[in-house]
Structure 1
Amino acid sequence: MKFYARPRRTPQVIIVSLIDIFAILLIFVIVTTTFKKMQPEVTIKLPESKSAVSADSSEEPVVLSVTDDEEIFLDAKKVSLDELTAAVQKLIAEKGRPNLAMKADKKVSYGFLIQVLDALKEAGVKGNLSAFTERK
């Protein structure tokens, strides 16, 4: 029995179909990175509320964030409890009476929140203080 060896063809890569695949991958990468949201500076687990209402104000509020390890951020700038009164007074002097909204983690101690609210009162914050909550 005699076997004939076929002549081997050299392998070829079809470039045209690879260019299509690379173009689709490139479009996918561009689209996914364009729509990626900015990561927040502070991660906070908000408490839930059944009766929460969305604010109707068109003006963006100044956000006061309190993390679970009792760190305070005023518009993403870290401030201590002692500096909070002066920072809010400076903000009021610059912007008049800005809308102030508090974003406090649900693990923050009640005593620390009272200290923060006292500092805000000393700074001259009067009226309605909005709070961020999660809808239940």
Structure 2
Amino acid sequence: MALSFARPRPGDGETPMSDMNSTPLIDVMLVLLIMFIITIPLQTHSVGVDLPQTPKELTPPPIDAVKNRVGIDADGTVRWNGEAVDRLTLRQYLAASLRLPAEPELQFQPDAGARYVTVDEVLADIRRAGVTKLGFVGNERYARF
């Protein structure tokens, strides 16, 4: 924006200002820009992926109605009745065993070299599942610690 403060001389008459006021033009352009930004539809970038589903009904969990054994190896592998499982599968097996008419006994047997963190996490999963019949197996090995 340019302003002219020059005074006209006494015999000259008034000279028109030749500079254009650009403030309204900038205001209009900003308003139009904001309107265009608001009216642009949001782009949703999503790719549909069909993940394979394993049928749970075809493979029943290996749950014994009398007793089940949860073990932890020295390398941190969690085992359910001798079969290596992850913690999510362990929680599913615990929930399925609690749905039986009579709650089976759960025997817990961690290896002496297993990390305490892994043992603690598995015990927390057992407690959260609501198991009431829990026994520790193999503690006699630690009598002469």
- TM-score of the superposition, structure 2-length normalised? 0.47
Which has the bigger relative contact order, CA under 8 A and spacing at least 6? 1
Report the structure number with the largest CA radius of gyration: 2
Question: What is the TM-score of this pair, normalised by structure 1?
Answer: 0.50
